Amino acid sequence: MEAKETYLKGCFVISPKVFNDKRGYFFESFNKEKFESLAGISIDFVQDNQSLSSKGVLRGLHFQTGEFEQAKLVRTVKGSILDVCVDLRKNSKTFGQYFSIILDDKNHQQLFIPRGFAHGFLSLENNTIINYKCDNYYNKNAEKGIVYNDKTLNIDWNIDNSKVILSDKDKELPDFDTFFS
């Protein structure tokens, strides 16, 4: 396993060592001791979530607030996504900046997103399955979000807005300036 920190402090791209042979492949998707040693972060995941999405489905940008903030470790089980996280830590040098990466079922990379970040992803293929670990339980009252096409964040989703498939809830999310004013 390799952990490489992105330009957003505390946010890591995790690359597993994949063993391929004529039967298929094997890799260790998570090892607490290795992760903590490589990233220098102590983590206790308490909840796993999985979703299935069609091509063009965009979920996000979501986050939990207060005592219910969540760190996440995101991986693609099948298909591919453009995974995006936004630094919402007001005292951070990278507040309001985003990081994006394509996660797919070929390179098996994962993205570790620390607490204090918004997260979203765009499914690049039909029947894409993602799985993510959380270090805190979901709380509906702490759930917040920022609209995916916010002009201040200016995230390059690399898709025409007319082709994006959103939930009704995600269509109603506030923009970044409204949320942080």
Is 62 catalytic? The answer is yes
Q: Which of 62, 98, 119, 148 is catalytic?
A: 62
Reading the block at residue 22, the tokens are: 């004529």
d(CA 109, CA 67): 29
Cβ contacts of 160 within 8 Å, gap of 6 or more: none
Q: Rounded to whole angstroms, what are the CA distances from 78 to 28, 41, 58?
A: 16, 28, 16
Q: Which of 98, 108, 119, 132 is catalytic?
A: 132
d(CA 161, CA 177): 20
Amino acid at 84: V
Is 132 catalytic? The answer is yes
Catalytic residue list: 62, 132
